[in-house]
Amino acid sequence: MTDTIAEIPLHFVDEVELSLDKIAQVLKHKPTLLLSEPSRLKILRCRTFLDSKIANSENPFYGINTGFGYLQNVTIDKAQISELQYNLLMSHACGVGHEIPSELVRLMLFFKIQSLSFGYSGVQVITVQRLIDFYNESVFPVVFSQGSLGASGDLSPLSHLALPLIGKGKVRYKKEITDSKKVLEDKNWQPITLQSKEGLALINGTQFMSAYGVFCLLKAQKLLKWADTIAAISLDAYGCSLQPFDALLHTIRPHEGQVETAATIHSLLKDSELNNTTQKQVQDPYSFRCIPQVHGATKDTFRFVEKTFMTEVNSVTDNPNIFPEEDCIISGGNFHGQPLALAFDYFAIAMAEIGSISERRTYQLLSGQRGLPLFLVKNPGLHSGLMIPQYTAASVVSENKQLCTPASVDSIVSSNGQEDHVSMGANAATKCLRVLENVEKVLAIELLSAAQAIEFRRPLKTSEPLEEIISAFRKTVRFNDADRVLADDIQNAISFINK
């Protein structure tokens, strides 16, 4: 990969690691993917080794010439090895729930291609190439949100991802859902003739969890920036002191996220007319005073989660794995999602706190204190003002508390006891995204409230960067001088911060 990723094709070169920024560029610019020659040779060498091993050995190799899971001791005749792989894809495609968004499927394809390109999975080159074709042509297999235990990888979601390779299942193409067989015919792509181990290579892996993880990280990255910016507007609107953001205070408790947040807030407000007025109160509520400590702790969590997922997307997570140079095939547990499940749960809790403290600032802004009118409306009583958006924020914050019950502490036995400890990482993934979507709503309601409160401080102004944001916001949501349907304002505020 290069810095000019939008201008030239992207080659999968396994010596170059994916980073969050590089993945963001791939999603933004959607470059054509190409399989590099070194990767092609590694895949081919691994496939050739596996073919030779099967032809010249009677030893059992899990999932290659044996059944799967509890059926590991069932030997499969060499003439039925290919049929075994077809049966695997079809029998394991048991997803339920809603169809996941195409951007998540795009990431799943991207990460599956990345993992197979390292050359430890025993697939054919044509199989990887067809996945690349799907990616480049925006042919997105229909994948469902429920069905993975996150232990033998994401068996069910990845089965749905792989089915179109053999002309089965559904795909979303040009925004329409259609049979994959029809799309293959239209594009003159022959269904892949699966060889030994290929089905297992395709559906063992953590690409469903990884796609959600990276998607959540990219969304959280944006939300954390907004959280600081919106908090700064609230600080000025509520007439808070900047003393808690003084750099000296944070040098004696130098958590990285805390120091960074204090500096950001201080920078955003340093030239504010409002902040330069005399502060009468000695201290501000924690939801204002402790922004560096709370926002900062979540940022530190973000860094841990980012490291976990970047390790994962640069890894091989199917099973068994094939090592041609060492002349061995090893069956293990690289598909187990425990590292990801724990990261998701930690991340959900940390991001939920961003929503929790945001809702408290909204509550304070509406409280009728510090010269602001009750519920931020000119004639409270006749008008309810912004009373009920805070109810909405409180409801969403409480839902997040419920969603933050850890999935990773749960397990359930499957495959007749063979798979007796599972990560529940896929459930952790889907609910983590729900938490982030909720945080986005809560921050939007704080922005709605803070921008409203600032208007009651006129003619004084906040800092120039914040005034620019408020001015842009006013083009989307006008000042509330009398009751109106606020659901529209809230939705417009969500859209504003989601640009």
d(CA 494, CA 487): 11
d(CA 129, CA 190): 12
Residue at 120: amino acid letter: Y
Catalytic residue, candidates 62, 135, 212, 238: 62
346 is known as an active-site residue:
no
Contact at 8 Å (CB) between 237 and 470? no
**Beta-bridge mates of residue 34:** 11
Q: Cβ of 79: how many Cβ atoms within 10 Å?
A: 7
| Active-site amino acid positions | 62
